[in-house]
Structure 1
């Protein structure tokens, strides 16, 4: 077998993955999929003991890397033809700041995307509410959701890195498998 054939065989899985990723982005553009992402880099775990919703100074927040990741997500979305998606976010400041840092339009808070890290007993009901809320939205426009690791893991079984996104088929369902995983840009 020639070296060219060996190289082609070795690259075949990459071509397949690239085609799947392109199909996932197309589904997102057409409103047949949703981008669910973990907020960008905010050092630490959980929230401080004095955490207060709506008071960013009491929360774990994006660092410079996280703000840059959010900006690059906006650039990536634009490069994929997604200029003005519907942006829904957890009410935690690090998630809101990720969504607004993309500079792709207004951000709407959605409680079903809030972290339940400190209340794992709420996870099953909150995940079911997220599925109901997203599936009730009108179809057809690109949709970007910014949430937290614990929420994404409950929905998909995947432990995403900070700033990582999953393109998920619609309608959402429990233990949904992603069409593509997109690392933090």
Structure 2
């Protein structure tokens, strides 16, 4: 019985963490993304498993948890939808983990640039504060007409936005006047 309660909690947790005034998967969400100053952060597409193997090595995909065929298809389909909606990105930045780099490449939305501030801190949460601060600094330095997509991990997305994203979910956000991140919409990969 307790197990079922936890399943229900975790099923609704992502919705509970979303701010009340966001737009999700509607025609309006694309208009929101096109607004000046609105950027996106995406959790990598489906990569079966949890965390990374004990022998994880950065730069060696054979030691990491990777996208499966479903994840690759999700990323390609999402990229096609983004292009059809006319979202013109200035840049695509990714974590250096293979599942994020592969998601970003499969989207086919432009050259993918590695950004260490997007690397997972799942194993060592002591990096959360510094990496999130570095990412906020990166966002604050963007020009007013830039439109960026960041591809990263659940822990990074949650630390930045307060949203617990599903695999392949995009969180739209802008930087508020007080320097805080304001979530303005979500796009699911399905």
TM-score between both structures, scaled by the size of structure 1:
0.82
RMSD: 2.3
Check the 8 A contact 2:94/2:118 in 1, yes or no.
yes
Corresponding residue of 1:143: 148
Hey, what's the Cα distance between the residues in 2 that align with 1:17 and 1:94? 27
CA distance in 1 between partners of 2:161 and 2:23 (Å)? 22
Distance 1:91 1:130, change over 3 A: same
Gaps of 5+ in 2: 1-20
Q: Give unpaired runs (5+ residues) of structure 1.
A: 1-15
Report the secondary structure of 1:179's partner residue. Answer: strand
Q: 3-state DSSP class of the match of 2:75?
A: helix
Q: Deviations over 1:115-152 (max 9, x none)?
A: 00011011011111110012112231321110100011
Find the aligned partners of 1:154 and 1:133 in 2 and give their Cα distance. Answer: 15
Structure 2 length-normalised TM: 0.80
Q: Quick check: which has more Rg, 1 or 2?
A: 1
Q: Size of the alignment, in residue pairs?
A: 169
| CA 1:32–1:22: 2 relative to 1, 3 Å | farther
2:121 aligns with 116
Between 1:121-130 and 1:21-30, the stretch displaced more is 21-30
- Which residue of 33, 55, 73 maps to 1:28? 33
Residue 94 of structure 2 corresponds to 89
Structure 1 outlier segments of 4+, above 2 Å: 16-31, 170-174
Conservation of the 8 A alpha-carbon contact between 1:30 and 1:142? no
Aligned-pair CA distance for 1:85: 4.1
Aligned to 1:182: 187
